[in-house]
Amino acid sequence: MRIAVGQYAVAEDWTSNLKSCQALIDEAVGGGADLLVLPEDAMALFIDEPLRIVDAAQPLTGPFLTGLREHTAGTATTVVVGMHESAGGGKVHNTLVAVRDGEIVATYRKVHLYDAFGARESDRVRPGDGEPVVFDCAGWQVGLMTCYDVRFPEMARLLVDRGAELLVLPAAWVRGPAKEWHWEVMVTARALENTCYVAASGECGRRNIGASMVVDPLGIVRGRLGDGPGLLWAEADREELEAARRKLPVLANRRFFVDPSIR
């Protein structure tokens, strides 16, 4: 599988962000990407007016996602992108959507809300139902996670239990003391402990670190971006995945399993 991971500085205006996403889609399609991963909430930025998130949210039938769907029509590249989706009752969902050839192929609503480091995402966002989302892309099983989800290893393991060979992680990782190190450690750990690939897209700009990464099943970083806009390329190889799982059979050797019904 040929993977592209894009990052950019999200603006407050969704129309500007749609153009940024479309440009990255064009570049990914032109380079033969099977999968393009874009950041969490690539639709709009809320720094000075965080409560505006509710008014600015759109449904999956809204113009932002419709514009992306139309832009992928006639292509084979699957695009994973984050947006805030209208949820009613004064709240929104933090939603990932996978689109391919003009159609929605998967949706995931963020489960673990960022109530940490002084932030309270749950004030405005309603969590998803916790059902793990795994979909097929170019013959690979791809699991969806969002940003803060990476701090919960059982989330990644549950996706791998459902067959995921590649974990996709769009994020908007906020700068702060040791936060870059947290990102690096946890993205790498989720790949190594599950012997799977992880493709993590980080929003960049004045608030967030960027630092998109692709990590292989033995925890080796295959490529990374800095703190500016860009597109990262990497390959996922089936033989490499199977060899890693033979060499390091942690999935076969484990003694405990994740039960999502226990909370």
* Active site members: 40, 110, 147
- DSSP secondary structure string for all residues of 193-221: HHTSEEEEEE-BSSSB----EEE-TTS-E
Query: Helix (H, G, I), strand (E, B), or coil: what is residue 42?
Result: coil
Please tell me the distance from the alpha carbon of residue 85 to that of residue 106, in angstroms, as a whole number.
14
Q: What are phi and psi of 200, to 5 degrees?
A: -115, 125
Strands 2-7, 35-37: pairing kind: parallel
Helix 179-194 vs helix 153-161: crossing angle, to nearest 10: 30
Q: Which amino acid is at 179?
A: K
DSSP H helical ranges for 85-178:
153-161
